[in-house]
Amino acid sequence: MLKQTDIHTVLIAGPGVMGASFAQIFAKHQYQVYLYGVSETSLEKARYLISINQKTEVEQGALTVEESAALLGRIIMTTSKDCFTKADFVLETVSENMETKHAFWKDITSVIGEEVVLATNTSGMSITEIAKAVKHPRRFAGMHWVNPPHLIPLVEVIAGEESSGEVLDTIYGIALSLGQRPVRVYKDPTGFILNRLQYAVVREAFHCVEMGYASMEDVDKVMKYGLGLRYACIGPFETIDFGGIDIFNRVGSYLFDALCNDGGVPKLLKEAYEAGKCGIKNCNGFYDYSDGKDKTALAKRDAAFIALARALYENEEN
């Protein structure tokens, strides 16, 4: 199986929100990239997202105009499966649907070499289950990124039942080569670690709104101006150490039982989905993204992430 240093050409399958970012990240770090999509329309969307991201990165000074042009020159967008056999590493980021993922992996692993390293960016579906469609699954593992991946450093490297230690080390090494901060996740838990934490917060956020404790805008502010800033600097266990184990134990004795413990998708989330809202991608979410407000919101978010990442990580060792 190929090692990180043998990997030069990368196939990103699925030119959506995540795939468009991955293409830029790998190209920025000198990899040759094929961004593979099933339709010209999907590639067109990726071109649009990439152009917004590149403009912001140049405006923020993260890239020069020349670096941005060189990076774009290393990305080949294609709907042709000819690219399947050119890759040393395949990162699948197609729609979050087991049948779609199975169909893709069955198709590609019937034609690529056994030494090629394979990863899926599923948000939380079982790596072991996805691997059932992969020929030689020892070279396959999870590589879960956070949106927007070109600005957020975490990567979860997840072991499926059949993943070899070698493939996990290679994927971990690839993440490091891209300047990311990988962590290892064992036993393939649903949602891995990040989404288990995130969905616990999301459930409670909807609960607070549904119960009338606060508006959506104010719940977002609690996170942005309170917890979010804290958690950008220290994790939950460090927080408890700083706050006092005795305090967290005392507050926990009455608060854990008061939290929402419902199963299923929160009512407001389900209703929004059923009303055709997909968020920024169709300019229709909990907030208004019509008339170009989507572009402004994306640029504002990216500028904030860049400034924060600079402040927090620029002088920090890996």
Ligand X SMILES: NC(=O)c1ccc[n+]([C@@H]2O[C@H](COP(=O)([O-])OP(=O)(O)OC[C@H]3O[C@@H](n4cnc5c(N)ncnc54)[C@H](O)[C@@H]3O)[C@@H](O)[C@H]2O)c1
Smallest gap from residue 258 Cβ to ligand X (A): 29
**How does strand 32-36 pair with strand 75-78?**
parallel
Residue from the set 4, 52, 78, 96 that interacts with ligand X by CB under 6 A: 96
Residue from the set 7, 10, 11, 13 that interacts with ligand X by CB under 6 A: 13
With vertex at residue 124, the alpha carbon angle to CA 241 and CA 91, rounded to the nearest 5 degrees, is: 110
Smallest gap from residue 76 Cβ to ligand X (A): 14
Interface with ligand X, residue 42, by CB under 6 A: yes
> What are the phi and psi torsion angles at 33 (to 5°)?
-120, 135
Residue from the set 95, 190, 215, 282 that interacts with ligand X by CB under 6 A: 95
Residue from the set 14, 137, 142, 160 that interacts with ligand X by CB under 6 A: 14
Provide the token pair at 63: 């890239």
CB 93 within 8 A of CB 63: no
Interface with ligand X, residue 137, by CB under 6 A: no
Taking the C-alpha atoms of residue 168 and residue 154, their distance in angstroms, rounded to an integer, is 15
Interface with ligand X, residue 36, by CB under 6 A: yes
Interface with ligand X, residue 176, by CB under 6 A: no
Interface with ligand X, residue 53, by CB under 6 A: no
CB 138 within 8 A of CB 163: yes
Q: Which of 45/74 has CB closer to ligand X?
A: 45
Pick left, alpha or beta for residue 80 (phi over 0 → left; psi -120 to 50 → alpha; otherwise beta): beta
Q: Which of 145, 150, 142 is nearest to 27 (CA)?
A: 150
Smallest gap from residue 80 Cβ to ligand X (A): 12
> What are the phi and psi torsion angles at 181 (to 5°)?
-115, 90
Q: Which of 189/244 has CB closer to ligand X?
A: 189
Q: Name the residues that contact ligand X, by CB under 6 A.
A: 13-19, 36-38, 42, 93-96, 100, 104, 121-123, 145, 147
